[in-house]
Structure 1
Amino acid sequence: MDIDMSRRNRRPRPLTDSERARLEEFIESISYSNRYSDSEFEYRHVQLPKAMLKAIPKEYHDVSKGTLKLLWEEEWRALGITQSLGWEHYEVHEPEPHILLFK
């Protein structure tokens, strides 16, 4: 399962201090699933508060899909998502765009 690089920013887009400040109120409400796996990868999903999507900069959004883009590690960590090293954002659950899938 390869990452579709066309669904990412060409390079990580850092947050400004004011953007980061707008997101701080949501960080405590981010929830993380337990890890689950198949024969190839370990997975988890991260659920952002729905209201947080409106505070995330437009450059992080994929307007063609109505979701966030696939985020670089620098980007998802800047949003306040905290996980151990090695996780990669590979998909957004389109029916619920506030749910990010990691492997």
Structure 2
Amino acid sequence: MDLKALRNKAQQPRMLTESERARLEEFQDLIHYSSRYSDDHFEYRHVTLPKNMLKVIPKDYFDPETGTLRILQEEEWRGLGITQSLGWEHYETHTPEPHILLFKRSQD
């Protein structure tokens, strides 16, 4: 795990307020989930958020250095409306396309 992921894991999850959650609801049906793919250790998938959704996600969900979403804890990404089975971990944001979140989970 890299230093940035460790730093984000140490933080308490920042839960959305009711009004923030309400602003995100209109986008939740437009979230796209890729097929799963894998290597010898992990199963992966990417989740594509509608680009306009980034405008209503709270600013403190973003990394001030990169301007992309920071690594979100499970409670945070689920709060955005991302729905997946248990075990998935947000491990990266695709910098050239900041609305694409990369997830992985152990194959064990």
TM-score normalised by length of structure 1:
0.94
Per-residue deviation, 1:5: 2.1
Match of 1:69 in 2: 70
Identity of aligned residues (%): 68
1:102 is aligned with what amino acid?
F
Q: CA RMSD in A?
A: 1.2
Per-residue deviation, 1:9: 7.2
Distance 1:77 1:56, change over 3 A: same
Q: What's the CA shift string for 1:36-72, capped at 9, x where partnerless? A: 0001100000000000001000110112112001000
TM-score normalised by length of structure 2:
0.90
- 1:36, 1:43 within 8 Å by CA — same for their partners in 2? yes
Match of 2:80 in 1: 79
Please identify runs of 4+ aligned residues in structure 1 that moved more than 3 A. Answer: none
Per-residue deviation, 1:8: 5.6
CA distance in 2 between counterparts of 1:61 and 1:100 reads 12
Gaps of 5+ in 1: none
Gaps of 5+ in 2: none
